[in-house]
Amino acid sequence: MKTRTGVSRCLFIAVLIGLAMAFGTHAQDGAVDRARRMRMVADQIERRGVTDPAVLSALRSVPRHRFVPEPLRARAYEDGPLSIGDGQTISQPLMVAVMTAAIRPRPGMKVLEIGTGSGYQAAVLSACVREVYTVEVISTLGRRAEGLLRQLGHKNVHVKIGDGFDGWPEHAPFDAVVLTAAPRKIPAPLLEQLRVGGRLVAPVGGDLQELVLITKTQNGLVTEVLDAVQFVPMTGKAASGKPPGE
């Protein structure tokens, strides 16, 4: 004969089983995505030399698949860029890791990002620094990214729709600047808005591009070429070939 305690325990187990059956699919999907994310970081990022603990932690925690269009989510953790519409892409995970590590992110930093795109780079930065100010010229992408970032709890990311050439002077100076689209030449306003001691990382060029790291010192700018890359071109004033105002 079952005791009252035994009956209560059976009922409790039955409830747990019911909940598992009701939500099992979603839980399994979450577990699968987490496993894919861990594998992505181990195989694509750590093995290629990125060691910054904050960057690795951010890449493990930010759900990259949420920033990829639904039809492509099965490929979200592959080693390459993916289309997000409007002629734009979400960068290869390794590039996100390399660029984030290049600015040496720290919790107290204020960072400017040019090219919000899917919002993934901003989300990774958000997990590493104090404030992220990100500018997107394509309004549909910017608003979509802003909504998703809010939904995922990235309250320290601020999105502006506008031409990234101009940066975000109201919140300058920035400790770092990250460009996710390639200008032929770094826009002067972005260098002006970088504080002394700050670091700017960007793809630069046309058909042939280089990922460059610029450090602003008391004596001027120090430039280092990190790698050959291929990013979407920066649009707006950066693509016009004309000085602002012309």
Question: pTM, whole model, 2 decimals?
Answer: 0.85
Contact between 60 and 41 (Cβ < 8 Å): yes
Does pLDDT of 137 surpass 90?
A: yes
- Domains in the chain, CATH or no CATH each: 43-240 (3.40.50.150)
Per-residue pLDDT at 20: 36
Q: Is 91 a catalytic residue?
A: yes
Per-residue pLDDT at 17: 36
Burial category of 68 from C-beta neighbours within 10 Å (exposed 0-12, middle 13-18, buried 19 and up): buried
Q: Which of 52, 34, 43, 42 is nearest to 98 (CA)?
A: 52
What would the pLDDT profile of 145-177 be if each residue is shown by its tens digit? 999 999 999 999 999 999 999 999 999 999 999
What would the pLDDT profile of 198-241 be if each residue is shown by its tens digit? 999 999 999 999 999 999 999 999 999 999 999 999 999 998 75
| Rounded-to-integer distance, Cα 80 and Cα 90, Å | 9
Per-residue pLDDT at 13: 38
End-to-end alpha carbon distance in the chain: 90
Read off the tokens for 78.
Answer: 């592959």
Per-residue pLDDT at 48: 96
Contact between 86 and 141 (Cβ < 8 Å): yes
Point out the catalytic residue in the list 91, 126, 139, 240. 91
Q: HEC string of 18-85?
A: HHHHHHHHHHHHHHHHHHHHHHHHHHHHHHHCCCCHHHHHHHHHCCHHHHCCHHHHHHCCCCCCEEEE
Per-residue pLDDT at 14: 43
Per-residue pLDDT at 242: 52
Contact between 102 and 199 (Cβ < 8 Å): yes
Residues 6+ apart with CB under 8 A from 65: 33, 36, 73, 76, 77
Q: How far is CA 187 from CA 48, 64, 217, in A?
A: 30, 29, 18
